[in-house]
Amino acid sequence: MRSAVPVVLALALGVLLCAAHANEVHTTTTRNLNQYGKLNFQLPWEDTCNGEWSSYGSCSLKNGSNQRCKVWVYKDPAEGQNSFSGVHHDSGTSNNVSGGGGGGGGGGSCIGADNDYYSSMGIPNPDESEGIYVGCVSTMTSLMNNQPTLRRSLQQQCPNFGTEECTTSGCEQGCQGTWSDYGSCFFDTAAGQTHKCRFFEPEATVNDFNGWADWQEDRRSLQTQCPRKECISDGCQEQKKDCVGGFSAYGPCKYDSAAHANKQCKTYMITQQATFGGQGCPYSEGFQVCTTAGCLQTVDCVGHWNSYGPCSPSGGLSMRCRTYVVETQAANGGQGCPYGAGAMQCTPSGCAQPVDCEGYWMGFGSCSNGKKCRRYKVTKPESNGGQDCPAAHNQEECITTGCPQPVDCVGAWGPFHPCQKNPATNKNEKCREYEITTFAANGGAQCPHHNSKMECSDSCAQPVDCHGVWNYSPCNYNSAKHEWFKVKSYQHIVSASNGGVGCPYSNGYSTVIISQCSQPVDCEGEWSGYGECHEVQGEDTREDRRSLLGVTPMVRCRRYRITKSATNKGYDCPFLDDQVDCTENGCDAKVDCVGNWGSYEECRYDSEEHANKRCKTYSITTPASGGGAECPFTSGSPSCTKGGCVQPVDCQYETPYGSCEITNGVARRCKVFTPTVLAQHGGEACPYAAGHQMDCTTVGCAQPVDCEGHWEQGECEYNLGSHSNIKCDVYHVTKMSMNGGQVCPHAHLQKECKTEACAQPVDCEWNMYQNEVCHFDEATKTNVNCKMVEITQEPLHNGKECEYVNGQNDCSQENCAQPKHCVGAWGAYGSCQLDVGLDALLLGKTNTRCRVYSVLEEAANGGDSCPHVDGTKECTDGGCVQPVDCKYDWVDVIPPQMFDDSLDEQLSEKIDLCHVDTVKGTAKKCKRVQITVPASHNGNDCAHPEGYEVCDESECA
């Protein structure tokens, strides 16, 4: 591109040479240019400044912002003399200028100069690289295809000819550039989703800059205003997603029994699971890493036993006891003492033991006067403060059990059963039952109610039927489906309770309706055909990349017309209404270079930067020709970025202390290598495997304490269970094992007993001579036989005492037939069950409960018989809820599309219930079973289950 300043300087010098060579007045030539307003040329020079500012031009990008500019142009004071003509000659030749047009004018000659002229005069060329020709007006007009060359006024008070003044006022600021193609889909950990991105490459207006450095500066300025990046997830729904997770903060300190230490832990939480083959998380959900750092450590309890005290009675034994004293209390979850402070241990060892009285009750005799009696026999008297027998020797005890007595009926109302719905009254009732526990016998008083009598009350919460209404939301826009919708939700105003009828829909049931919402209307439009080629006019706002002396580009344009505007969030048209699009294609003009950046390649690891990068390559699709602008990059130029690449993750780890472990009798704990983040995507690997131990120490570990103890010898004592005299040694633990120390070979107070060192008991022995003939005893009114006792061995060494006195007569009813009355009773009523007997077949289903009479003791030797035979069964329907048979109705199945807010109106009218079977492709009308009363309490089931459907195609077209 050519700068305007050198051109103006060259023009001024050329005009000056022409003015010096010709003294006569030349005709003023004027020409209007679309872009810069009126440009005037006049010879010779006037003493005053003749010029004016042009109108502001169109907005264009300049120095990083959109600006519009005005230009200082020379103004001929004699308007109308605006034509000239001439013929171009070589340097040093004359040029004949003849007036023409307007008011006419005279002629003259002028000497022009080109680059060689500057060299011969020793004057620096204003822009040698441009090859500018400086000469007369007519000469330069001919040189540049009749385009007037801009020149500089020589008046000092005038602005330089072609001077620009620019402003941003009235120009809308924005960006100009191109978007790259979308790259590959990748998972963005910051955004938490898979998407693909493209990048904005701003364009600079190179005709306003001097070289590559200015272009770069303008490009950086544009980058601060332009968008840099745009990402979308379209087409990436099934791309892989890496697992995302992290450790929570450390929790409160807690005691670890295995390590015998207080620890605080942090837990690995997964916020996004890997999908479609994405990278998994380094740890599973809930994985914990624990450390003792920041936690108060355990303090173990220290204590000991005091010496044994004197013997004293306790629980039937003579005991001596000792007390446990705690010297140091456990703290921070430390190991507690084996016994609490003040705990007591007692032993009978070393104390004379009491001997309890022993005896037994003899058998009951026969009934006499409504009672029967027995006597107590003492076999071993009490000694040393032992426990007395429950009765004195030969003490008599009489009872009436087994003897005929008047028995009064005993019964009571049971508790009320839970409330149940009575199908007959459709009310909730609670009932209770009168139960006789003892039936009247032998003339006893009767109960006020018969057994199993039922009494019911309706003081229960009564059934409440459900009531609900439909609620409708306002219309909402669904961008995914590009439609408006509203949601109707069913809300329970009154919920069913106490067995009431439920609502037809669950609370919160909702369905979507789109028919009641105005739907989006998308914009529609089209481009007109391209017109004919013409010079660039005001409607083309593109930057003019050509110099002021360049050829005006030819373009052809088309307009976009919107035929239908978008409403209700409809999609906008891709172009504005009446938007103009012009192109030079098809018109003869210079061709600028066209190039773009390709898509980003896959991410690759860069070892120098320790980062993953992806690169794109610049490709030139249309090379510059005919002097058009070159592309800013050469074909094949690379551009790399870290954006869109998952970066290397180095291994991160912790080394918390592990649990204490005992090795060779010493407790130690070690630091455990625990990775918190595993190396990924080429990151630095961990130095050790997970679980590697290091830096072991005994600090913080309670050391093992071995158990200590000894045996203490006892004395001979009587053992009631084995009926022997034994001598026992007792093992006493003096120090408990702790922290994994060696345990004692025996438990505390463990005994080892033997009989060899003790004299064994010798029991009493006697002979009993029996009279085998039964005789009648007037006192007891029973038949008895008697025995006479002769003692042959007295008891020794804790042997069993004699049960009888030497020479004692012992009489009993044994081996004598006695009158026995039958003893029996009714059992409790069983649970209610369906009666399947003959009565049920004749009278219908009935739930009954039954009881059975059991004979406990048969009558013998003339005793009274029981009132019922053993196994007699008695049944009643009292206290049983009776069977309820299932009942149901057939209801029409309403097609799903009819469930909207007009459902109630549809049901009140005759509606078409036919709908299409999507499998068979035919129309059908269906009805469904709706159970109104479910079967209960052994009632008959319905013929069909709830929801059973029957369909008919005959009534549908």
Average pLDDT over residues 332-351: 83
| Model confidence pLDDT, tens digit, residues 167-202 | 887 787 666 677 888 887 776 766 767 778 888 777
* CA pair distance 63, 220, nearest whole angstrom: 10
Q: Write the Ramachandran bin of 511: left for phi over 0, alpha for psi from -120 to 50, otherwise beta.
A: beta
Report whether 760 contacts 719 (CB < 8 A). Answer: no
* CA pair distance 611, 605, nearest whole angstrom: 6
pLDDT at 600 over 50: yes
Which of the pair, 315 or 42, is modelled with greater confidence?
Answer: 315
**What are the tokens at 684?**
């630095």
pLDDT at 478 over 80: yes
Report whether 366 contacts 781 (CB < 8 A). Answer: yes
Pairing of strands 60-62, 65-74: antiparallel
Which of the pair, 108 or 730, is modelled with greater confidence?
Answer: 730
What's the pLDDT at 224?
52
* CA pair distance 571, 778, nearest whole angstrom: 122
* CA pair distance 786, 769, nearest whole angstrom: 9
pLDDT at 663 over 50: yes
pLDDT at 457 over 60: yes
Percent of the chain with pLDDT over 70: 75
Which of the pair, 537 or 10, is modelled with greater confidence?
Answer: 537
Which positions ≥6 away from 946 have C-beta within 8 Å? Answer: 888, 929, 930, 931
What's the pLDDT at 266?
92
| Model confidence pLDDT, tens digit, residues 287-331 | 888 998 888 888 888 898 898 888 888 776 788 899 999 988 888
* CA pair distance 624, 641, nearest whole angstrom: 28
Report whether 84 contacts 42 (CB < 8 A). Answer: no
Peptide bond into 338 cis (omega under 30): no
Average pLDDT over residues 509-522: 89
Looking at 801-946, which runs of residues are DSSP E strands?
809-812, 823-826, 833-834, 847-857, 873-876, 887-892, 915-916, 923-933
* CA pair distance 267, 951, nearest whole angstrom: 57
SS3 category, 8: helix
Sign of CA pseudo-dihedral 547, 550, 552, 555: negative
* CA pair distance 166, 63, nearest whole angstrom: 11
* CA pair distance 593, 820, nearest whole angstrom: 132
Q: What is the DSSP-derived secondary structure letter of residue 48?
A: S
pLDDT at 523 over 90: yes
pLDDT at 561 over 90: yes
What's the pLDDT at 911?
52
Which segment of 97-106, 197-206, 233-242, 523-532 scores lowest on mean pLDDT?
97-106
Would you say how long the chain is, in residues?
A: 957
Which segment of 33-47, 272-286, 676-690, 780-794 scores lowest on mean pLDDT?
33-47
CA 525 to chain centre: 47
Using pLDDT thresholds of 50, 70 and 90, give the confidence band for residue 6. very low
Which segment of 165-174, 357-366, 874-883, 938-947 scores lowest on mean pLDDT?
165-174
Paired strand residues for 67: 60
Share the mean pLDDT of the chain.
Answer: 75
* CA pair distance 368, 783, nearest whole angstrom: 12
Number of neighbouring beta carbons within 10 Å of residue 105: 23
SS3 category, 327: strand
Using pLDDT thresholds of 50, 70 and 90, give the confidence band for residue 474. very high
Average pLDDT over residues 460-477: 88
SS3 category, 275: strand
* CA pair distance 138, 270, nearest whole angstrom: 84
| Model confidence pLDDT, tens digit, residues 110-143 | 333 344 433 444 444 444 433 333 333 333 333 3
SS3 category, 673: coil
| Model confidence pLDDT, tens digit, residues 498-514 | 878 888 888 888 888 88
Q: Would you call 318 exposed, middle or buried from its count of C-beta atoms within 10 A (0-12, 13-18, 19+)?
A: middle
Which range, 612-621, 773-782, 784-793, has the best average confidence (pLDDT)? Answer: 612-621
Which range, 34-38, 519-523, 535-539, has the best average confidence (pLDDT)? Answer: 519-523
Query: In the block, which residue shows the tokens 């120490």?
Result: 697
* CA pair distance 113, 18, nearest whole angstrom: 10
| Model confidence pLDDT, tens digit, residues 605-631 | 888 888 888 999 999 988 886 667 889
SS3 category, 218: helix
Percent of the chain with pLDDT over 90: 6
Which segment of 26-40, 368-382, 833-847 scores lowest on mean pLDDT?
26-40
What's the pLDDT at 567?
92
Average pLDDT over residues 933-949: 86
What's the pLDDT at 64?
58
Report whether 201 contacts 226 (CB < 8 A). Answer: no
What's the pLDDT at 789?
80
pLDDT at 367 over 50: yes
Report whether 355 contacts 380 (CB < 8 A). Answer: yes
Using pLDDT thresholds of 50, 70 and 90, give the confidence band for residue 411. very high
What's the pLDDT at 91?
37
Which range, 162-176, 658-672, 850-864, has the best average confidence (pLDDT)? Answer: 658-672
What's the pLDDT at 10?
41
Paired strand residues for 490: 470
Average pLDDT over residues 276-290: 82
What's the pLDDT at 256?
80
| 787 closest CA partner among 802, 799, 801, 804 | 804
Pairing of strands 534-535, 554-564: antiparallel
Using pLDDT thresholds of 50, 70 and 90, give the confidence band for residue 105. very low
